[in-house]
Amino acid sequence: MKRRDFVRAAGGATAAGAAVGAGQPAAAAGGGEEGGGGETVPAFGSFLDDANGYSEDGIVDARGEDAVTVEVGAGSGLAFAPAAVWVSPGTTVTWEWTGEGGAHNVVAEAGPAGLDSGDPAESGSYEYEFTEEDAGITTYYCSPHKTSGMKGGVAVGDDVATTTLAGAEVKEPIEFGVDIHEHWVGVSVMLLMSVSLVFTFFTLKYGESPHTSGAD
């Protein structure tokens, strides 16, 4: 059973983010193909391109968590934080108002989940339990501040559209046209060590470099 209870709090929002602390950015999480270069993350599409606080490598992977908290009115007061999360069916996401940025709400833009916290408010919280019926990607926004970039997204389940982040490609020297053999590397290291030892010897014995005029 989904819960869509919107609670208006007179004293402002409770400090948010505690539940999401167990989650990690999808690019840093250890499950699936995450970790290292070329991480796989949900493909939220162009709707979030101009969302405040959003980046593909900042998507929070909270799969397996029972509860996740999203701040409403984060940053300068016109952002959801985190802007995008990845959860499992059965996870309850709670949007907590920070009291910053004026009146906000949560309204679905596209996707299977019918997010709707109602009229904009300056404080409160909104809960939604994502189920198997909500599997996929749902994007949403704050209706008073949509054009200001106050947008977010929730990916539910493992069977969602994904994209692979570009990892840093490490090239071997030979790919640059330099054929370096191991024995030449060894010779170079030994030569550098010898020069360093000679320099250190003269410095310790005479207090100056062997190239300094007046050295014995």
Distances (CA, A) of 208 to 141, 194, 195, 197, 215: 69, 18, 15, 14, 7
pLDDT of residue 177: 58
64 and 158 inside one domain: yes
Mean pLDDT of 12-26: 48
**Which pLDDT band holds residue 190 (cuts at 50, 70, 90)?**
confident
**Is position 134 within any domain?**
yes
pLDDT of residue 208: 56
**Is position 1 within any domain?**
no
pTM beyond cutoff 0.75: no
**Most confident among 36-45, 64-73, 171-180, 187-196 (mean pLDDT):** 64-73
148 and 47 inside one domain: yes
- Cα torsion for 3, 111, 115, 70, to the nearest 10°? 90
Q: Which residues contact 51 (CB under 8 A, 6 or more apart)?
A: 79, 80, 83, 84, 149, 150, 151, 152, 153
Per-residue pLDDT at 61 exceeds 90: yes
**Is position 214 within any domain?**
no
**Is position 213 within any domain?**
no
145 and 178 inside one domain: no
Note the residue count of the chain. Answer: 216
117 and 184 inside one domain: no
**Which pLDDT band holds residue 187 (cuts at 50, 70, 90)?**
confident
Domain count of the chain? 2
153 and 193 inside one domain: no
Nearest residue to 85 (alpha-carbon basis) of 122, 51, 117, 37: 51
pLDDT (tens digit, 9 = 90+) per residue, 149-178?
A: 999 999 999 999 999 987 645 555 555 555
Of 83 and 26, the structure prediction assigns the larger pLDDT to: 83
182 and 146 inside one domain: no
66 and 114 inside one domain: yes
Per-residue pLDDT at 202 exceeds 80: no
32 and 82 inside one domain: yes
Q: What are phi and psi of 155, to 5 degrees?
A: -100, 135
**Which pLDDT band holds residue 211 (cuts at 50, 70, 90)?**
low
149 and 181 inside one domain: no
pLDDT (tens digit, 9 = 90+) per residue, 4-16?
A: 444 444 344 344 4
139 and 159 inside one domain: yes
155 and 181 inside one domain: no
105 and 47 inside one domain: yes
> What CATH number did the domain enclosing 42 receive?
2.60.40.420
One-letter identity of residue 13: A
Question: Domain residues for 25?
Answer: 6-164
**Which pLDDT band holds residue 179 (cuts at 50, 70, 90)?**
low
Per-residue pLDDT at 20 exceeds 80: no
**Is position 211 within any domain?**
no
